Amino acid sequence: MLRFACDTGGTFTDLIVEDETGCLSMYKAATTPDDPIVGAINALRLAAEDRGLDLSDLLKEGEMFIHGTTHAINAIITGNTAKTGFFTTKGHPDILVIREGGRIEPFNFKVPYPEPYIPRSLTFEVPERINSNGEVITPLEEGVFLELLDQARDVGLEAISVCFLWSIANPVHEIRVGELITEHLPDVPFSLSHKLNPALREYRRASATSIDASLKPLMTDYLKNLTHRLQSEGFSGKTLVLTSQGGMIEAEEMASAPIHAINSGPSMAPIAGRYYAQLECDEDSLIVADTGGTTYDVSLVRKNRIPKTRETWIGQSFRGHMTGFPSIDIKSVGAGGGSIAKVDEGGILHVGPGSAGAVPGPVCYDMGGTEATLTDACLVLGYIDPSYFLGGEMNLNTNLAREVIEEQIARPLGLEINSAAASIVSVATENMVQAISEITVNQGIDPAESLLIGGGGAAGLNSTFIARRLGCPKLLIPVTGAGLSAYGAAISDLTSEFRSVFFATSDNWDAKGVNNNLKTLEARAKEFIDSAGKGSVSSKIEYTVEARYAGQVWEIDVPLRDFQFGKKYTLEQLVDDFHEVHNDIFAISDPDSSVEMVCWTAAVSCQMRAEDGVRNVTFSASDKSDERRLVYFDGHGELSTPIKKLGNIVTGKKDLGPAIVETPFTTIVIDPEASYQVSENNSVIIWP
């Protein structure tokens, strides 16, 4: 039986196929923005052709299709979500308008106040009120609510978001409202805040619920279409979708809570990076950089843990929209192989954030692109073999790339063409360095003491330069690095999280209440294992609590050693762990202060495939012997450089640069100042 892991990026769709022996093969197809499923099907066709099979014969052997998609985030950014109404407690219609405060530029009064995710005109006030103790202060007026539903029908609402005050303390009103919507507007999907995101802070809960509801019609259709088209081609296995939290869930469950798909693909890169670091290196501080055609996604791994953040914004912080959900902490900037280079009126070179994307793509693709890109620059410099792009599947036009860089970059800057192309690479590199600095230095991590892992099809073009600029002692380009997120999907687990608010303090500890709350979470996690996780190889449940010092505004996540407190696991141990985590994050702790515990989480993961040792794509020795070509390196000029196929390199032998290492999916540039070797697992290790 085969297992398919597919990640749809802005430019390419990556596919990894794993057979029953654990052997992997990797494929890339152009992403089709108008219908992303076509790109996934095309990648599957490449896999079928590689095996001498029809697509239907390949899919008949599949037991699992794991899908990472940008469909949800693209819909939000482009404004293609459903027309959604926001139903909230009477007297509190401005939750989405007022937000939580915070400004990027506090003294820039020219920036307009951000629009709410759901306009005020589509906000409906429901007569009801529950207090923080869960007591009903104002009963739900069902007659008035039904009148509001009639108004919702009249304005043509396509989805409904429901967020009542303190529904996390007592959800009875939200539950009844859900029943009434189902009865009177059966074709309109809805989201209830207490069920979707049972957490404190009204704006975050309301925002999460509104985003989720607005995505339901779109994502339900998309996932149904994906499942139907796979089935029509012969696939009868499970369809799973990647989540922002670094796991995967079944397509039906994702359709019921599509907010989890917002950072679907990029969340897998640190999963894969951590796996390779454990395999190849000793470092416990990792910077995982995933370079695609459109974006550059940076994430961290610290002490084998992948940091998550609750400050997840769609768009700019404070100006965009808060997802209200913890997700893997990823910093994304508009920098990639398709990033467009321009010279402004002042003679300054910019690279990105605009991208040529998959359509029309860089000029050298000869598909109608008219603006110089990073890929065009790398082709001009000799980094990329125009006849071996995607393993020879696509021939690049060097002459077109030279012409556009000469006209748009070299002449305006008064540079010869190689210097202009090198400048494009240099500016793109600096953009990427700044993205890494922001996520590392701001969290107290020194890049000079970290391992840089380069993933994505364009990673090899300048990761050596990035590592040197940051002072990283070592760079790792995994053998599946060109499809790092897809590989992360292939090794990821089926996951889910269950959350519950139960307030307790170290000064007024309610052990019985906390234990009962955790037992309820455990029961829900075990139910998930027995249902969605049925047939898994193994499973585990990890418990955390969101805690803070008394008087603090924000909480931090503290792992629990056990799910019950008693003689073996005590309050004192939890408090000690909180101080330690607080010190790791902020370099300070206050052991004399009281600790408040707010929200408890049970994260369940089910391993769907047995680990049978290292799972890697291997590249056999190429029929084409190694060669040399002139390659331009900034500061060194044009050098006769050995061009080596990865499968031809002797493993374990350290060599000096310059060199270009090629695979069918990426090109790794090693300049004269660096040294490198290929590991036994076919990953490339570079010392910048």
Q: Which of 261, 263, 384, 366 is nearest to 664 (CA)?
A: 384
Q: What CATH code is assigned to 266-335+429-490?
A: 3.30.420.40
pLDDT in tens, 173-202: 999 999 999 999 999 999 999 999 998 889
Structure tokens at 525: 């996690």
H or E segment to which residue 662 belongs: strand 659-662
Q: What is the dihedral of CA 190, 324, 320, 257, to 10 degrees?
A: -40
Q: Say yes or no to pLDDT of 623 above 70.
A: no
Q: Which of 101-105, 414-418, 434-438 has the lowest mean pLDDT?
A: 101-105
Q: What is the identity of the amino acid at 485?
A: S
The total number of residues written for the chain in this structure: 688
CA torsion through residues 444, 450, 456, 459, sign: positive
Give the pLDDT band of residue 153 (cuts 50, 70, 90).
very high
Residues 265 and 70 sit within 8 Å (Cβ to Cβ): yes
Give the pLDDT band of residue 615 (cuts 50, 70, 90).
low
Q: List the domain boundaries for the chain.
A: 266-335+429-490, 339-427, 494-607, 627-678
User: Buried b / exposed e across 330-341, counting CB within 10 Å, b at 16+?
Assistant: bbbbbbbbbbbb
- Burial of 588: CB neighbours in 10 Å, binned 0-12, 13-18, 19+: exposed
- Helix, strand, coil shares of the chain, percent, nearest 5, are 35, 25, 40
- β-pairing verdict for 451-455 and 675-678: unpaired
- Distance from C-alpha of 672 to C-alpha of 640, rounded to nearest angstrom: 11
**442 Cβ contact list (under 8 Å, min separation 6):** none
Beta bridge mates, 321: 314
Query: Average pLDDT in the 26-54 region?
Result: 91
pLDDT in tens, 236-256: 999 999 998 888 999 999 999
Q: Which of 143, 140, 142, 190 is nearest to 167 (CA)?
A: 140
Query: Average pLDDT in the 318-339 region?
Result: 86
Q: Say yes or no to pLDDT of 616 above 80.
A: no
Cα-to-chain-centroid distance, residue 162: 27
- Burial of 5: CB neighbours in 10 Å, binned 0-12, 13-18, 19+: buried
Residues 425 and 381 sit within 8 Å (Cβ to Cβ): yes
Structure tokens at 200: 């404190």
Q: What pLDDT shows up at residue 334? A: 81
Structure tokens at 99: 């937000």
**642 Cβ contact list (under 8 Å, min separation 6):** 626, 627, 628, 658, 659, 660
Q: Say yes or no to pLDDT of 619 above 80.
A: no
Q: What pLDDT shows up at residue 621? A: 57
pLDDT in tens, 370-404: 999 999 999 999 999 999 888 888 899 999 999 99
Structure tokens at 486: 């897809």
Query: Average pLDDT in the 574-586 region?
Result: 93
- Distance from C-alpha of 671 to C-alpha of 464, rounded to nearest angstrom: 8
Q: Say yes or no to pLDDT of 310 above 80.
A: no
H or E segment to which residue 400 belongs: helix 398-405
Residues 356 and 317 sit within 8 Å (Cβ to Cβ): no
- Distance from C-alpha of 156 to C-alpha of 84, rounded to nearest angstrom: 9
Query: Average pLDDT in the 309-315 region?
Result: 82
List C-alpha distances in Å: 391 to 102, 484, 604, 663, 666. 49, 18, 40, 7, 9
Q: What pLDDT shows up at residue 574? A: 97
Q: Hey, what long-range contacts does 228-236 have (CB within 8 A, 24 or more apart)?
A: 229/37, 229/41, 230/59, 230/65, 233/41, 233/44, 233/55, 233/56, 233/59, 234/55, 234/56, 234/57, 234/58, 234/59, 234/60, 235/59, 235/60, 235/62, 235/65, 236/60, 236/62
Q: Say yes or no to pLDDT of 311 above 90.
A: no
Query: Average pLDDT in the 487-515 region?
Result: 92
Query: Average pLDDT in the 535-564 region?
Result: 92
- β-pairing verdict for 538-549 and 595-607: antiparallel
Q: Which of 648, 649, 647, 629 is nearest to 639 (CA)?
A: 629
Query: Average pLDDT in the 592-612 region?
Result: 88
pLDDT in tens, 550-559: 989 889 999 9
- Selection from 1-5, 8-12, 540-544 with the highest mean pLDDT: 540-544
Query: Average pLDDT in the 566-588 region?
Result: 93
Q: What pLDDT shows up at residue 95? A: 96
H or E segment to which residue 222 belongs: helix 202-232
Q: What pLDDT shows up at residue 622? A: 56
Cα-to-chain-centroid distance, residue 471: 26
Whole-number mean pLDDT of the chain? 91
User: In 61-141, which residue ranges form alpha helices assigned H by DSSP?
Assistant: 71-78, 95-98
- Distance from C-alpha of 374 to C-alpha of 16, rounded to nearest angstrom: 26
- Distance from C-alpha of 428 to C-alpha of 335, rounded to nearest angstrom: 7
Q: What pLDDT shows up at residue 461? A: 94
Residue tagged 């012969």 (tokens): 234
Q: Which fold has domain 494-607?
A: Dna Ligase; domain 1 (3.30.1490)
**What's 70's DSSP letter?**
-
Q: Provide the 3-class DSSP secondary structure of residue 466.
A: helix
Residue tagged 């056990």 (tokens): 562
Residue tagged 């029309």 (tokens): 360
Q: Say yes or no to pLDDT of 221 above 90.
A: yes
pLDDT in tens, 93-141: 999 999 988 888 889 888 888 999 999 999 999 999 999 999 999 999 9
Q: What pLDDT shows up at residue 614? A: 57
